[in-house]
Structures are given as C-alpha cells and as structure tokens.
Amino acid sequence: MALELAPNSLHPHFNLYALEGGCEVLMTKDHVKPVAKGGPDRDENYQTMCAICNNIKGDGDLTVEQVKELREVYNVNIHKVPPTQLAAIMREEKSKRLPDATTTCSDDSAACCLSSKEVAETTSGS
C-alpha cells in the first residue's frame, strides 16, 4: 500500500499494489456488473482487480474466468506485437467472449488494454 498524491490534487490517497512477476501492479475497484450495463455503484457489486485486467474487462459483462483467459492472451502478446495490433487481438478475443459481441475498444489504440506506461515501453522497444 502506498500513500500517493495524484497530479493536480491536494489530497493524498492510498493505493494498493500487488506483485506480479516481480513487478508492482496497481489494484483497482471493479464493478462485477458494469455500471454502463445497469450495475449498481454499491459495495455488493465491487470486486478487486488489477488495473490491467480491469482495463481489459472495460464495460464488458465478463466473468473472472473470461478475464483470466484474456489476460493470458495479453501476456503472450504484450512484448511480441505493436500496441495497435495487440489492441486488435484483444478486441477480437474479447468479442468471442461477450454475449452481445460488443467491445469497448472502438479504435486501433491499445488504450483499452495497455496502461500509458506499457504503451510507452512497447513503442520505445524496452
């Protein structure tokens, strides 16, 4: 756990981190049933999810198992393909798992499945 100050904020807040492969990963509050799909913004609809998985899930009505499957696809491809190709792969894989076949990624950016740091690392070749 770390006490952090967000840019342009006067009030610090606590962030919870987990370790994955020796790296710190930010943990986030996820809505089990997305608010965009009618889910309530209440404690009983919250679950903890790492930021990467939460971004992959987006507003998709996916189970934890489906998110785990998508994370495996992400992990296999993150250092192999450029961000735009990774975003396309993730959109395709996500659409296979969504009952209504909709996705939250509407363009070729990797923003839906990559953090800004990961985009920078992938595009810089490090």
Segments making up each domain of the chain, as ranges: 13-124
Q: What is the largest CA-CA distance in the chain?
A: 43
Give the chain's count of helices (H) and strands (E).
4, 5
Q: What is the pLDDT of residue 50?
A: 96
Which pTM does this prediction carry?
A: 0.71
Residues of the chain with pLDDT under 70: 100-126
Q: What is the pLDDT of residue 5?
A: 87
Contacts by residues 76-83 (CB-CB < 8 Å, ≥ 24 positions apart): 78/114, 78/118, 78/122, 79/122, 82/122, 82/123, 83/109, 83/110, 83/114, 83/119, 83/122, 83/123
